Amino acid sequence: MKPDALRFIPIPTTPQHIRAWSRYWLPFLPLIAKRSKESIDQLIDRIITGYTQIALVWDGKEAHALIGMQYTRRGEDLVAEIVWLTGRGMKDWTHLLPVMECYLKEKAHCTVIRPICRPGWSRLLKQHGYKTTHIVMEHTL
């Protein structure tokens, strides 16, 4: 697939849109569930309640990646937290990061984007102007 044929497609949080696009985003949930240790039902609930808005990397026929976005306030800033960024052919679609940023700024009115990512993503995101502000560590008890 030519990278220029891929597009960033945010899915509106209405039940009709979520349902209409479900056959494209549902296949990504098992991998997210495995990594997050949440059940697929919990992930679906986050989507259908609007807690996590989703977007697809789309070629006109199929989805290549799923992006999950959550919004929170930090003082006057609206922060978009990128909580899911998963898919195949990453190098073919990371050029869409500026398109996602434009959407989050212009349509969602965010002033900060905070990717919550695994270490491998940080190298790529730094190339796109992101900087490390916090480190999240985890210890399972």
pLDDT tens across 86-120, in order?
998 888 998 999 999 999 999 999 999 999 887 77
For 128, phi and psi rounded to 5 degrees? Answer: -105, 20
Q: What is the CATH number of the domain that holds 120?
A: 3.40.630.30
Q: What is the mean pLDDT of residues 44-60?
A: 97
pLDDT tens across 30-41, in order?
999 998 899 999
Domain for residue 108, yes or no?
A: yes
pLDDT at 140 over 70: no
For 131, phi and psi rounded to 5 degrees? Answer: -130, 155
Domain for residue 137, yes or no?
A: no
Domain of 104, in residue numbers: 3-126
Domain for residue 132, yes or no?
A: no
For 112, phi and psi rounded to 5 degrees? Answer: -140, 140
Q: Is 96 exposed, middle or buried (0-12, 13-18, 19+ CB in 10 A)?
A: buried
Number of domains composing the chain: 1
Q: What is the mean pLDDT of residues 124-135?
A: 84
Domain for residue 20, yes or no?
A: yes
